[in-house]
Structure 1
């Protein structure tokens, strides 16, 4: 693949990163909990753009990688825009207090309704907001984005580049988590020990597994005999993940989480 093609692909992905940066700025100014994942997404996308620009890793079809990044981001932007429309234009008039998933309109995909509702619980934590959003984006948005690209041709011969994307993004996770801690929650590392069995999604290994499962679910969505079941599964998976995270099977951990939510003040800080 020519260097020109890689440069064009890098610019496409950099455009996505610019839009994410603008949203981070807006969410930070509004003290909107969506800022935390938007920042993580911005950083990961920036790393992908840099990887394309430097040909590291050497993608065989950088234009396909860029198209997937654009398609995936479009799903996220559409969901966030639907939430913005529901909230209304005046920040002071936006819904306050705890929101239930059913309170949001159907224009917001079910997994993102579940994530937004979870973020309104008193004393929701920064780590949770990243994990829950990552789950919605990887388990729901990604298989749909892959399916959208499949309309223009078989995606299966792109599996090597998809794996290279997994490798690049997975390598970035530790650094991104450190930046989130510095930016939004300096005590994230100390709180993280409470979540040691539940935060595997936001790790090198977790990114690989989540993206691999998205590829599998894209195959299910493309199979007429399996697509309805696949759609139901990816629509429910985020709510199931949130429930398992907040209500672990171990009663002692369940009790500890309840005490934390009742007694520990919010650990979130805002830049600026």
Structure 2
């Protein structure tokens, strides 16, 4: 039984697909450059429409570029495997977005249906849009992508490359959190100061834990093929990531604070302006 069957209308796809949004994700990504170019196009088109699905892409495209730069500068022991890793991972996002946009609900994993649907129905804060995408892509897609690209041969070497991504992302994560805070309150340099215990649970630093769990699940699915273990591992992925998405939508914030933040977003700042602030902050970090 699908985890969100009880309230599907809350996470329904658009009534009709937008051809300009379908075009960049139609057909598999072949290279890292192809993936980043097409996802960047999709992010720009979503941003132009004020579509909050752009928020995760703003972060994800930059992350992908950072890891690709690491490949090109010799950061990884197995660059060919890392390129396959990035492309395979990006294709999981591509397929989920394409299925959602074209109304193929059965093909949309529940964590992505929650993320896309909530963002489209304007019931989220920008910080929630970011967390919803990170949750679905890391806590659901990554284990499956790792299984697809293969952990063997030289599993230990591949694991070290997997861990090296965490090092590349660490500085970018700090910049992202500061940028998300600045979206809401100029001069607030720490999301903790704004979101309190909500951020302690949902901080983007949880990507490291999610990536570690993804590797463990991929190992189980690779090494244990006897039923019911593969099916159980899939159920754990789906249930954990969907539960995480629903938790992101139920933050333990003071209702008055939450209402005030929503009013601020709706009245004072467009999605495009918010994403430009995030872009500027991340670019400053690169400099």
Unaligned runs of 5+ in 2: 1-29, 277-287
Per the TM alignment, residue 77 of structure 1 is displaced from its structure 2 partner at its CA by: 0.5
Determine which of 3, 12, 17 is the counterpart of 2:36: 17
1:198 is paired with a residue whose SS is: helix
- Map residues 115-134 of structure 1 onto 2, 5 A cutoff: 115-134=115-134
Matching of residue 81 in structure 1 with residue 98 in structure 2: yes
Name the CA shift for 1:265/1:23 in 2 (closer, same or farther; >3 Å).
Answer: closer
Between the two proteins, the alignment pairs up a number of residues equal to 236
3-state SS in 2 of match to 1:247: coil
State whether residues 111 and 241 of structure 2, in contact with CA within 8 Å, keep that contact through their aligned partners in structure 1.
yes
Provide the C-alpha distance between the structure 1 equivalents of 2:161 and 2:221, rounded to a whole number of angstroms.
21
Partners of 1:13 and 1:148 in 2: how far apart?
A: 16
Give the structure-1-normalised TM-score.
0.75
1:187 pairs, out of 185, 188, 200, with 185
Partner of residue 45, structure 1: 64
| Per-residue deviation, 1:147 | 0.9
Whether the aligned pair in 1 keeps the contact of 2:111 and 2:245 (CA below 8 Å) is no
Q: In structure 2, what is the equivalent of residue 163 of structure 1?
A: 163
Residue 67 of structure 1: CA displacement?
A: 0.6
Kept after mapping to 2: 8 A contact 1:246/1:254 = no
1:166 touches 1:208 (CA, 8 Å); kept in 2? yes
The residue correspondences of 1:77-226 to structure 2 (distance < 5 A) are 77-86=94-103, 105-150=105-150, 153-154=152-153, 156-157=155-156, 158-178=158-178, 185=183, 187=185, 192=191, 193-200=193-200, 201-203=202-204, 205-222=205-222, 223-224=224-225, 225-226=228-229
Question: Is the CA contact 1:13–1:48 (under 8 Å) kept in the aligned structure 2?
Answer: no
Q: Confirm whether residue 231 of structure 1 aligns to residue 234 of structure 2.
A: yes
Larger deviation: 131-140 or 223-232? Answer: 223-232
Q: Tell me, yes or no, if the aligned pair for 1:126 and 1:268 is still in contact at 8 Å.
A: no
Contact 2:184 2:261 in 1 (8 A): no
Q: How far off its partner does 1:29 sit?
A: 1.6
* In 2: Cα distance, 1:258 partner to 1:175 partner: 23
Aligned to 1:91: none
Q: Shift of the alpha carbon at 1:210?
A: 1.2
Render the CA deviation track for 1:151-186: whole Å, top value 9, x for unaligned.
Answer: x8447331011111121122321224445667xx35
Q: Is the 8 A contact 2:139 2:210 kept in 1?
A: yes
Contact 1:59 1:161 in 2 (8 A): yes
Partner SS, residue 214 of structure 2? helix
Q: Counterpart of 2:22?
A: none
Aligned partner of residue 33 in structure 1, secondary structure: coil
